[in-house]
Structure 1
Amino acid sequence: MSVASRRTLDDPGVFEEFLTLVGEGDEYGAVEVVDELLDGGVPPQRIMIDLIGGTQARVGELWAANRWSVAREHAATAISERALAAVAARTNVRPSRGRVTIACVDGEWHALPTRILAEMLRLDGWRVDFLGANVPGPHLVTHLHQTGPDVVALSCMIATRLPRAHAAITACRAAGVPVIAGGPGFGPGGRYAQRLGADAWAAGAEEAVYRLARNWPPHGQDPQLPAYLADEEYTYVVRNRPELIGTAMRQLTGAYPAMRDYNQRQLDATAEDMAHIVDFLAAALYVSETAVFTDFVAWTGSVLQARGVPPVALRVGLGTVQSQLRDFPAATAMLTAGVRLING
């Protein structure tokens, strides 16, 4: 390839082409693009973060806007993973730093961001154990005892996983291994990460690489941090989750007449939405942060609107859960805040 024809990330057409390729499931075309960029001298870090990571964010936006189906989103993610693997295959670096374990918390299936972090850390000289998605806490701890890493990088993309993230962080620190947390599930600026006991938080792969290389290990945690955050309201919601969802579905059928004409697929989707309402409410109660719940309500409202579901459906759905929790002031206040958000 001549110098004049070298491809760079300065050309916005590269991003559009790559998005088209992953959207069409064209693995070979996507790999060709990253190979051409590498041949043209583009740093692999920029390909992973800007092209692959940026495209994946765009894929999520297209799904939320109801322009891409779940199946297409999943297929595109698989192609992005293959392109990432192609970059990794051409950028081997011998370890010169310590050993890091990278994992998604139990129940967390969004593994591509952590895979990008794994490859970024390999390029920076770390020996990486990438455990992938949905790693149960006991399995993570067993791995730590078997391998003795210097640090665990733990990802939580969705706030409903915060209680499990807390359990994993606590177990890692009990094993003597510090934790750097990442992912939007830990809240804006990682506000819940320290509360759950993490030693540090990073906004993305680049920041994690920087912190681990230059500011690690961090200063010790505040010994006054609570060891357990859940209270009786959280415990009640979790223990009674099936009943809360089932009762809400029965009440919703009567309170929202349009639901009587739903087919089975629509009923299943509604039940899933009600489960998310209960799960995000539980997560908000766990960390005592209303924003965990209201941020979810705002996002769900936009997703449902893109799918032709009127705001009144979500408002009624929130009301069916609220009516069951009248004796729980924190939960009631959070649900009221969610309803007001929809009304506004």
Structure 2
Amino acid sequence: MDDSGRLVKARARYVSALMQGESILARSVVDQAIGFGASRADIYLRILAPAQVRIGELWHEGVINVAQEHLATTITMEMMDFLRNGMERGPSLGVRAVVTPVEDDQHFIGARMVADFLAMDGWDVDFLGSGTPANDLAEFVRNRDADVLALSVTLPEFLPNVTAAVEAIRKLRPDSPRILLGGNALKHAGQDPDPLGCDAVAHNIPDALREARRLVGLTKRKLTLDEQLTLLGRRINAARTSRRMTQQELAQASGLERTYISMIENGRQNLTIEAALKIANALDIQPSDLLAQP
């Protein structure tokens, strides 16, 4: 079975563990995923995040109650704490993000995931957990000299709190940070962030990373060697997994060692032009696709 199929099965087992309230069983699913080569990012995006969405759906359908939903959230937070400890932070980008749910919004899993991925990307990140009152948030953002404020709003009734937070921040700090908005409530609000006073919206974690970088102009500057190697590794990983190839299969197709592929995907190997060509050919992509500036 390929990695994609394994992740689908792992997600189903993980949802089952959450419904049973079994943290040990949930941890075993995560350990097994790591064992068959899934990256921590894959586990976040393809197991934990969709599982939490499913748990929310089951609650709305009346299959599970609030207590069960809360326990499921607690278990997933435990899994995220475990995975976070093993994540490697990318080279520092010299920018800071504050990530938080809006005031009164107690759903924070998505915001926590965005905070973790920003940290992996090299951002300095302050994650505030529960929603913070608008004026206190504005003061905190000013004192921390944040470049981006990422707000999460999960329910439509909390959308007015987005506007309140934005107004408080703009009032207190004229050169306020760029504001990125995400969360399930956007499905009801549409995609235009202007009515809420925000600079951009994100509908998933990869969106949030791209938009955060765009908002501070990181896509326009030249990357350092370490940043380029990290980006190159992520592109190779994305191309490989999208083709449902394992690292061993890519190694065989390119004539390289699997450990060498692993080091490249983790940004720890300065590969030669010959190796880049072999990998590009094995993935059936242009070498320029791997090396292009973001």
TM-score grouping bracket, smaller chain normalisation:
0.5 to 0.7
Q: Deviations over 1:181-236 (max 9, x none)?
A: 111323457435321110111111110111223x2237xxxxxxxxxxxxxxxxxx
**Does the aligned pair in 2 maintain the 1:181–1:201 contact within 8 Å?**
yes
Any idea what SS the aligned residue of 2:41 has? helix
**Does the aligned pair in 2 maintain the 1:190–1:201 contact within 8 Å?**
no
Q: What residue ranges of structure 2 are gaps of 5+ in the alignment?
A: 218-294
**Does the aligned pair in 1 maintain the 2:11–2:47 contact within 8 Å?**
yes
**Does the aligned pair in 2 maintain the 1:189–1:203 contact within 8 Å?**
no
Aligned residues: 212
Q: 1:23 to 1:124 in 2, by over 3 A?
A: same
Task: Show the counterpart of 2:122.
Answer: 125
1:170 corresponds, among 156, 167, 172, to 167
Task: Show the counterpart of 2:207.
Answer: 207
Mapped pair 1:77 → 2:65: no
**Does the aligned pair in 2 maintain the 1:18–1:33 contact within 8 Å?**
yes
Any idea what SS the aligned residue of 1:10 has? helix
Amino acid at match of 1:105: V
Any idea what SS the aligned residue of 2:98 has? strand
Q: Deviations over 1:297-342 (max 9, x none)?
A: xxxxxxxxxxxxxxxxxxxxxxxxxxxxxxxxxxxxxxxxxxxxxx
Amino acid at match of 1:212: A
**Residues of 2 paired with 1:27 and 1:104: CA distance?**
25
**Does the aligned pair in 1 maintain the 2:10–2:33 contact within 8 Å?**
no
**Residues of 1 paired with 2:167 and 2:191: CA distance?**
17
Any idea what SS the aligned residue of 2:127 has? strand
Mapped pair 1:140 → 2:132: no
Counterparts of 1:214-225 in structure 2 under 5 Å?
Answer: 215-217=214-216
**Residues of 2 paired with 1:96 and 1:173: CA distance?**
27
1:10 corresponds, among 2, 5, 12, to 5
Task: Show the counterpart of 2:36.
Answer: 40
Task: Show the counterpart of 1:19.
Answer: 15
Any idea what SS the aligned residue of 2:11 has? helix
Task: Show the counterpart of 1:181.
Answer: 181
Amino acid at match of 2:193: A
Q: Deviations over 1:3-36 (max 9, x none)?
A: x9xx944223212211111222222221232233
Mapped pair 1:100 → 2:97: yes
Any idea what SS the aligned residue of 1:125 has? coil
Aligned CA RMSD, in angstroms, stands at 2.0
TM-score, with normalisation over the residues of structure 2? 0.67
**Does the aligned pair in 1 maintain the 2:88–2:120 contact within 8 Å?**
yes
Counterparts of 1:1-344 in structure 2 under 5 Å?
Answer: 8-11=3-6, 12-93=8-89, 96-97=92-93, 98-174=95-171, 175=173, 176-188=176-188, 190-191=190-191, 193-213=193-213, 215-217=214-216
Shift of 1:145: 2.2
Any idea what SS the aligned residue of 2:64 has? coil
**Does the aligned pair in 2 maintain the 1:95–1:122 contact within 8 Å?**
no
Shift of 1:40: 2.8
Task: Show the counterpart of 1:230.
Answer: none
Shift of 1:93: 0.8
**Residues of 2 paired with 1:46 and 1:173: CA distance?**
36
**Residues of 2 paired with 1:36 and 1:142: CA distance?**
44
**Residues of 1 paired with 2:19 and 2:3: CA distance?**
21
**Residues of 2 paired with 1:68 and 1:25: CA distance?**
11
Amino acid at match of 2:17: L
Q: 1:40 to 1:50 in 2, by over 3 A?
A: same
**Residues of 2 paired with 1:14 and 1:187: CA distance?**
27
Task: Show the counterpart of 2:236.
Answer: none
Find the structure with the greater CA-based Rg.
Answer: 1
Shift of 1:105: 0.6
**Does the aligned pair in 2 maintain the 1:190–1:203 contact within 8 Å?**
no
**Does the aligned pair in 2 maintain the 1:8–1:37 contact within 8 Å?**
no
